[in-house]
Chain A
Amino acid sequence: GQQLNQSPQSMFIQEGEDVSMNCTSSSIFNTWLWYKQDPGEGPVLLIALYKAGELTSNGRLTAQFGITRKDSFLNISASIPSDVGIYFCAGQETSGSRLTFGEGTQLTVNP
């Protein structure tokens, strides 16, 4: 089956710094989604991308759907302590079946 590689696995940054994480796929996707999950809770949708090349922002978060349709990145600017959590990318193949999730990026923000 398809693989989704998410990197980095973890990040330790200082408050105020910018953060970047990305996902690459072995297959072409028609949708990329980015989620944030806090401990013991379900993932919360941050940004949804539906077109190759699409660049979408949600406050301090910016995500892009790669031109090749096999990758996506998420940037967080001016990080704050509440940004702590696990960030997941998820992709959906052109066949429109299930979501495939990346392994997650654990973000720690030091005040």
Chain B
Amino acid sequence: KAGVTQTPRYLIKTRGQQVTLSCSPISGHRSVSWYQQTPGQGLQFLFEYFSETQRNKGNFPGRFSGRQFSNSRSEMNVSTLELGDSALYLCASSLVSPPTTQYFGPGTRLTVL
């Protein structure tokens, strides 16, 4: 069974731009959670989607948004990028919601210049 896939793996943007990241969960998994990982803050929860609905949200500004499609694939969007948004963005899939055992993708490394 294929694992969680994320595209793109690397991204370079400039301040003020917006970016969309994609995540395909493990086949059969319906819950997708997104995390931001930085050296200073560690792994921080962004939001979780299940059956195309946002089930939980972390403490991030409204510039961070997401959605989930009927095939469980998920996208997250960051608008008006700031330098501090540079991070590894990870998505994790789980069979159910609330998510129990979560499996992570390889991440998207976003660099904001």
User: Contact between A98 and B56 (Cβ–Cβ < 8 Å)?
Assistant: yes
Whose C-beta in chain B lies nearest to the C-beta of A102? B42
Q: A74-110 toward B: CB 8 Å interface, digit per residue (1/0)?
A: 0000000000000010101001111111111000000
Given contacts A42-B4, A98-B56, contact A35 B101 (CB under 8 A): no
Contact of A99 among B99, B105, B109 (CB under 8 A): B99
Given contacts A40-B109, A41-B107, A43-B90, contact A97 B102 (CB under 8 A): no
Nearest Cβ on chain A to B29's Cβ, whole angstroms: 13
Whose C-beta in chain A lies nearest to the C-beta of B43? A101
- Residues from chain A with a CB closer than 8 A to the CB of B104 are 35, 42-45
Which residues of B, 94-113, contact A by the 8 Å Cβ criterion?
A: 98-107, 109
Contact of B45 among A40, A96, A99, A102 (CB under 8 A): A99
Which residues of B, 66-113, contact A by the 8 Å Cβ criterion?
A: 88, 90, 92, 98-107, 109
A33 within 8 A of B: yes
- Residues from chain B with a CB closer than 8 A to the CB of A103 are 42
Q: Indicate the size class of the contact surface on chain A.
A: 20 to 34
Whose C-beta in chain B lies nearest to the C-beta of A104? B42
B33 within 8 A of A: yes
6 contacts between A and B (CB under 8 A): A31-B101, A35-B104, A42-B107, A43-B90, A98-B48, A100-B45
Which B residues fall within an 8 A CB radius of A?
4, 6, 33, 42-43, 45, 48, 56, 58, 88, 90, 92, 98-107, 109
